Structure formats: structure tokens, C-alpha cells
Structure 1
Amino acid sequence: MKNLLKSAAVALAVSVAAFAPAVAQELKIGVAAEPYPPFSSPDASGKWVGWEIEFIDALCGEAKVKCVVTPVAWDGIIPALTTKKIDAIIGSMSITPEREKTIAFSDKYYNTPAAVIGPKGQKFDATPEGLKGKILGVQVSTVSADYAKKYFAPVVSEIKEYQTQDEANQDLAAGRIDATQADLITLQAFLDSDQGKACCETKGNVKDDPEILGAGIGIGLRQEDKALKDKFNAAIKAVRANGTYAAISKKYFDFDIYGK
């Protein structure tokens, strides 16, 4: 009798589970805690906004997962992923061979060049010859920092590292450094501000090096999370195909940031 009752209970549980509504998978999506406009930054109320935040919403809606934006200090964001404090990084992280030794990446979801900006009226370009003897600011733990150390360290007087790109921009505006290197779009957002318009201008894009600058921006994932990678890759293709990607991008850019 006990066995019959047990079997009936199991059957009932299975039956209830079969008709229960599916619970959406919840993922913690890591973004840099430091503002990175126009991709991600907190507004006056503390809500995170920007192109990448809207992209996350669209992507997760397409993938049918619940996503929670989780700010993490940039220099600790990969350890946060590998120790399962977050489930993915959607924070303008370049796909590089060095990072792929530790984590996996989705397909790219945008790709823009790295550039150098400096004071108006000073003529130099984004080359080792142009930056010779100058103080160059970069954000710590970025591909631009790695690039600067390889190509510019032998000729500049100093490479100064900052926790945020905004700090580098502020020091450039104040004359404490001579130039800064970062993603072109992020630097353009600064140049379009009142402060940026007054002080600074683009000196050019740096020469490409895919080994350092990467093959575009991708979603950082744990290497074992292959099913999640497939799900995000499918979602990236879908939002590009159905026009959602273009609709979001038009709010922030006047060109296609997806790249070649």
C-alpha cells in the first residue's frame, strides 16, 4: 500500500510539474561599475542606461531569460565571472586571444576602432612618432592599456593608468596628461560634451592589432557554458535580423557600430 501511495504521489507531482508555467532563467549580467557612456552609465536616479543596457534588454528578451544588470569593478569582472558571482559579461569587452585563455566569448555584437585624443591646437597623430615624449592616459585592465604598453611605452614619457576612462578625460581637459587612448565611440561621447568641445580633438585611430585590440566586442562567458553561448549567439543574430539592433543603435549613433 505504501508503495502504491508513493507511486501515486510521484505521478501527481510529475503531472503538476508538466502543467506548471515555465520559470524564466535568471542571469546576472556583469557591466563595468564605472560609467562608460554611451554604452552604460547610471542616470541621476541610479538606473543604468545606455546603448548596451538597451541591447541587454533586447537580447535577453529574445533569449527568453531574465537578466539582472550587475555592476562590477572592471579590473575584477573576469574573476567575478569565473567564480560565478555573475553569469555573463556584456560590458564592451574585446574578444582577445589572451582573454580566451580564461573565458569564452559569444559572436561579436559590435566592433569600433581605438583612437587617441589630445588638446586642440597641438599637432600630433596616433603613432609612436606622434606621441613621443608625451604623457598618455589609459584605463587600467583594458585593451587600450595593453596596446599602449606594447606600442607607445618605448617612446612616451609616461603611461598613466586610471580606474575609469572619465578620470583620464578629466586629466586631459585639465592639462595633466597630453593624450588618452580608448574606444573611438567612448572618446567621441566626451568630445561631444561641453568640456570636450572646449578642450580636445581626435588625433586619429591607432594602427589595428587584432592580437591586442581583438576581433570585436563579445559577451564574456564561462568556458563550460556552451549552451548559454549558443543561446546568446542565436539572440544576437535575431535582434540584428529583426531590426531591433538597428532601432536601438539609431538612438545613439549615426553609423552602424557592428563593423565589418
Structure 2
Amino acid sequence: MKKFALYSLFAMASFSSLAHAESVLSFGVDPTFPPFESKTANGNLVGFDIDLGNAICQHLKMKCVWVETAYDSIIPALDAKKFDAVLSAMSINEKRKAQVDFSDMLYNTPSVLVAKKGSNLQPTVDSLKGKTIGVAQGTTQEAYAKGEWQGKGVDVVSYQNQDFVNQDLISGRVDATLTDSATATAGFLNTPQGKDFAFSGKPLTDTHYLGEGAAIALRKGDADRVKMINSALAQMHKDGTYQMLEKKYFTFDVYNKKP
């Protein structure tokens, strides 16, 4: 018990010293994944991840700084110390675990195929042969589509971000897109441009490619900052902050171990 108490005091002192040494917590973000992160017409960052990050900083009594970075280069930018952590709907998978350390899980939503209503496309090789599927660069959906479909008669095209994918989906240059279900539901499908599109087939939950939920990514070995962020997340679940923010953006539970 004494050892545990001493460890707890040491951990708390470690969090405190880190917070005081660095009064700013900077997050890398690619604001092209509503409702997790996007920009308003006047350039303000908004979304579930933005609110979560700001709440984490508030609990830690630190100032939040957001650094906009393209998703496909966000881990190299983290390693280059352009910011402290990535808070941008990043899924946890084995490949990324080898590159970064993760906080506790933030949320867990499945991936879905989005296509024209009535297309009856399924997220399978047999259904997608001869079709063109758009994906956002650097995403787990891109990894899945290239790993499971490309080279088997399915043309997988990568785009800089999901907004560009959606534009080509509307114009008919791609037949479907593989994307996050919450992003599709609260984002593209909830717009006038997305009214003729819908989920096509069953959601995908392949953990090898698509991960085990989303979390905050930090540089390898940044253990103190991981513990500090996890302590804030635990407090947010305990005091209801997380649940309040979740209800602001979703009508369903996004904090679940199995989507």
C-alpha cells in the first residue's frame, strides 16, 4: 500500500511538473472530418475532437493550440515536434502502435461504404470489381481498401482528404467511398449534396486495418504526457464532460469497445 501511495504521489507530481513546465498543449489536426473536426466559414475549428481537446486542456489548466496539418503527413509532423499530440480521429492499429504511443480510447465507430442510393454495392471484392473507390490518404480506410481490394479488380484512388473524395463521388468520378460512419452520417450525408447517397452494405470492423477505436497519438516514449492526458480523460468521464460533448454531436453511443 505504501509503495502504491508513493507511486500515486510520484505520478501526480509528474503530471503537475509537466503541466507547469509546459503551460501549452498543442494538437495536430486535419479539419476535414466532420463532425470530429472541420472549419466554419470564418475559419474557426469546430467538432467533437476540438471540443474534447479543449476540455482536456481545461481540466489540465493548460492552453490549447491547434496546428492544421494534412493527415497523410501528420505522424511525421508529430515526430518533428511541430506539436505535442495528434487529435484528429486517428484509429489505433498495430502499424501505428509501432510509430506512436496512444492515449486511452476516445471513441469507436465502424467504417462504411457510401454510394449512390440504390446501387446495392457491398464492401466486398466480388461486388466492387470494375468499380472505382475513393479514400482519404493516410486513413485506415485507405489501408483496408488497398490491402483487401486493390489488385483484385477494384480501382482504389487516394485523395488528399475526404472533402475531395466526396466531390468526385458527387460528380460520378468514383463509384463509392470507404469512410468513417460517424463522419459520413453527421457530415456528407447530412448535406444537400449528400442527399442522393447512403451507406451501402454492412459496416466494416476489421481491427487489423481499421483499428480498435480512435485515440490521441503522442511521440514514442512521451509517457508523462500520455499519463497526463489519460488522467484528464478519466476525470471527464467521471464528471460527465465527455457524455455532455458526445450528446452535442451524436444521437448514439460512440464510446464502445465494439462498434
3-state DSSP class of the match of 1:218? strand
Q: Are the equivalent residues in 2 in contact too, given 1:144–1:181 (CA < 8 A)?
A: yes
What residue number does 2:17 align with?
none
- Give TM-score scaled by structure 1 length: 0.87
Q: Are the equivalent residues in 1 in contact too, given 2:120–2:201 (CA < 8 A)?
A: no
Residues matched between the structures, number: 237
Q: Are the equivalent residues in 1 in contact too, given 2:92–2:213 (CA < 8 A)?
A: yes
3-state DSSP class of the match of 1:52? helix
Q: Are the equivalent residues in 2 in contact too, given 1:37–1:186 (CA < 8 A)?
A: yes
Q: Are the equivalent residues in 2 in contact too, given 1:117–1:201 (CA < 8 A)?
A: yes
What residue number does 1:177 align with?
174
TM-superposition CA deviations, 1:120-161 (whole Å, max 9, x none): 121222222221221000001111000001111133441111
Distance 1:42 1:164 in 2: 14
What residue number does 1:113 align with?
110
Instruction: For residue 64 of structure 1, report the CA deviation from its aligned partner.
Output: 2.4
Task: Give the alignment of 1:8-23 within 5 angstroms.
Answer: none
Instruction: For residue 206 of structure 1, report the CA deviation from its aligned partner.
Output: 4.2
What residue number does 1:65 align with?
62
Instruction: Select the residue among 144, 152, 166 that pairs with 1:155.
Output: 152
Percent of paired sites with the same residue: 40
* 1:144 to 1:47, Cα distance in 2 relative to 1, 3 A: same
Query: Structure 2: which amino acid aligns with 1:240?
Result: H
Distance 1:220 1:128 in 2: 32
Query: Is the radius of gyration larger for structure 1 or structure 2?
Result: 1
Please state if 1:209 is matched with 2:220: no
Task: Give the alignment of 1:8-87 within 5 angstroms.
Answer: 25-32=23-30, 34-87=31-84
3-state DSSP class of the match of 2:34? coil
Please state if 1:96 is matched with 2:93: yes
- Give TM-score scaled by structure 2 length: 0.87
Instruction: For residue 53 of structure 1, report the CA deviation from its aligned partner.
Output: 0.8
Instruction: Select the residue among 241, 244, 247 that pairs with 2:238.
Output: 241
Which ranges in structure 2 are unaligned for 5 or more consecutive residues?
1-19
Please state if 1:225 is matched with 2:222: yes
Distance 1:54 1:164 in 2: 21
Q: Are the equivalent residues in 2 in contact too, given 1:116–1:203 (CA < 8 A)?
A: yes
TM-superposition CA deviations, 1:25-45 (whole Å, max 9, x none): 21211111x421111111111
What residue number does 1:193 align with?
191
Q: Are the equivalent residues in 2 in contact too, given 1:131–1:155 (CA < 8 A)?
A: no
Q: Are the equivalent residues in 2 in contact too, given 1:24–1:66 (CA < 8 A)?
A: no
TM-superposition CA deviations, 1:173-229 (whole Å, max 9, x none): 1111111001111111211111111x2111034442212111110110011210110
Distance 2:238 2:126 in 1: 43
Distance 1:162 1:206 in 2: 21
Q: Are the equivalent residues in 2 in contact too, given 1:94–1:213 (CA < 8 A)?
A: yes
Q: Are the equivalent residues in 2 in contact too, given 1:190–1:196 (CA < 8 A)?
A: yes
